[in-house]
Amino acid sequence: MAFEGLSEKLQGVFKKLRSKGVLTDADIDAAMREVRLALLEADVNFKVVKEFVASVSEKAKGEQIHASLNPGQQVIKIVQDELVGLMGGTNSKLTYSPSGFTTIMLVGLQGTGKTTTAGKLSSFLKKNGKNPMLAACDIYRPAAIEQLEIVAKNVDTPVYSDMETKDPVKIANAAIELAHRNGNDMLIVDTAGRLQIDEDLMDELRELKRAIRPHEILLVVDAMTGQDAVNAAKGFNDALGVDGVIMTKLDGDSRGGAALSTKSVTGKPIKFIGVGEKLDALEAFHPDRMASRILGMGDVTTLIESAMDAYDEQQAEELERKMRKNAFTLEDFLEQMGQIKKMGGLSKLVGMMPGMNKMSDDQIASGERELKQMEAVMFSMTREERDDPSILNASRRKRIAAGCGQQVSQVNSLVKRYDDAKKLMKQFTSGGGRNMRMPGMPPNMFQ
């Protein structure tokens, strides 16, 4: 998970601070030494670390203390505010053209996931009511055009390409004309990259910028490359001028140093983050929400938004009706597991639930395996059996186990878990329960 190591270390520092009734300057200095080390180990730019620690120390030693917070909580609040500021302060949104047609130019080095990100961005924009088109202007990388066409098909977005033309400016201009004719209100231009920044690349991008005058130039960088991503962002911004950053593979970067350094080093905000391989795994970047995740406070707002995306209103109402009537079936149980997948799986959910980021990767992987085993058992059942688990006698359970290649004990375990979930729902809907968990979630996820 992103920021896993940093989050664990910072929470360790704050646990020590909370145990003290009064904080001396020496206590704060000791805590800041640990924070400095944690940030450096997370691959945060050393100048950024120096300024961050100095700012927190100065404010923590000041006299302005909130009456509702003890000294340890006050330091945590200061660190949280500083983290939010470090990452840009507020969510930086796309700039749309007042004329109604917006052009976005994606730039970056090879290997950062630029072409796939073009598809993800298109999917994101469509969810927000836009009607985008893609333009294939990478004429150098083998199969780049074919890759973009495949991505475009998967997100149901039109794409303009021209295998014969070797001039990206002509391709982009033709794409703009076609988008206008077809009624598209946005064009996403996928440009060529290089293995490193060079003048030929920048000259071509500057020429394309002058020709199409994009409303947004977004730089795609790979979070996994750490400070190399930050250096690339600075190089592109100095040579071309960019409006924002899309940081890919943030879910695979356990350190997170690039995300914490980019705004301070380049002056440009992170606008989107890639949080998975699927074409809907692109999120708007919210510094306040990310700071909460880093400090182990979860991200309930994003969790709710993900749930709203995964569920339609009719599904939610039907589920609530069944819960109130205690008519929740294994078919509903299976559907709930599908919703967990749509929301990004356990690894994503855990990062957004307050206190849950203390779980290790091994625990999360174990939970994922449990869900897959449960799903396999349910798929081995008939629809009749999922709708009425009371008919699952010994012979049926033996057949189900054989059908999914598991032990009868695992079938029994699933049925027991289902029964427990129904009892929990009954308590919850009658006002007697306080610790409702999402049906289908492995119980050890909340221990």
Do 313 and 373 sit in the same domain of this protein?
yes
C-alpha triplet 172, 161, 209: angle, nearest 5°: 20
The half-sphere exposure of 402 on its side-chain side, counting CA atoms within 13 A, is: 6
Is 70 within 8 Å of 114 (Cβ atoms)? no
Question: Could you give the 3-state DSSP secondary structure of residue 183?
Answer: coil
Do 260 and 201 sit in the same domain of this protein?
yes
270 phi, psi to nearest 5 deg? -80, 125
Residue spans of beta strands (DSSP E) within 285-414: none
Give 360: exposed, middle or buried? Use CB within 10 Å, 0-12, 13-18, 19+.
exposed
Q: Among 35, 60, 86, which residue terminates a domain?
A: 86
List the CATH number of the domain containing 41: 1.20.120.140
**Exposure string (b/e) for 22-42, b if CB count within 10 Å is 16 or more?**
ebeeebbeebbeebbebbeeb
Local confidence pLDDT in tens for the 447 residues of the chain? 567 788 888 888 888 887 777 778 888 889 899 999 999 998 899 999 999 999 999 888 865 544 445 777 788 888 889 999 999 888 888 989 888 899 999 999 988 999 999 999 999 999 989 999 999 999 888 789 999 999 999 999 999 998 888 899 999 999 999 999 999 999 999 999 887 788 888 899 999 999 999 999 999 999 888 888 899 999 999 989 999 999 998 877 667 888 899 999 999 999 999 988 888 889 899 898 888 878 876 555 555 556 556 555 566 566 666 666 666 788 877 777 777 676 666 666 666 655 555 566 677 677 778 888 888 999 999 999 988 888 999 999 999 999 999 899 999 988 888 888 777 766 655 554 444 444 444 444 433
Nearest residue to 208 via CA among 136, 158, 150: 136
Domain for residue 411, yes or no? yes
Question: Could you give the 3-state DSSP secondary structure of residue 272?
Answer: strand
Which value, in Å, is the radius of gyration of the alpha carbons in the chain?
A: 25
Do 67 and 174 sit in the same domain of this protein?
no
Do 258 and 165 sit in the same domain of this protein?
yes
Six token digits for residue 56? 């927190």
List the CATH number of the domain containing 371: 1.10.260.30
Is 389 within 8 Å of 329 (Cβ atoms)? yes
Do 135 and 232 sit in the same domain of this protein?
yes
What is the residue range of 116's domain? Answer: 102-295
Domain for residue 34, yes or no? yes
162 phi, psi to nearest 5 deg? -145, 100
Six token digits for residue 316? 């939610």
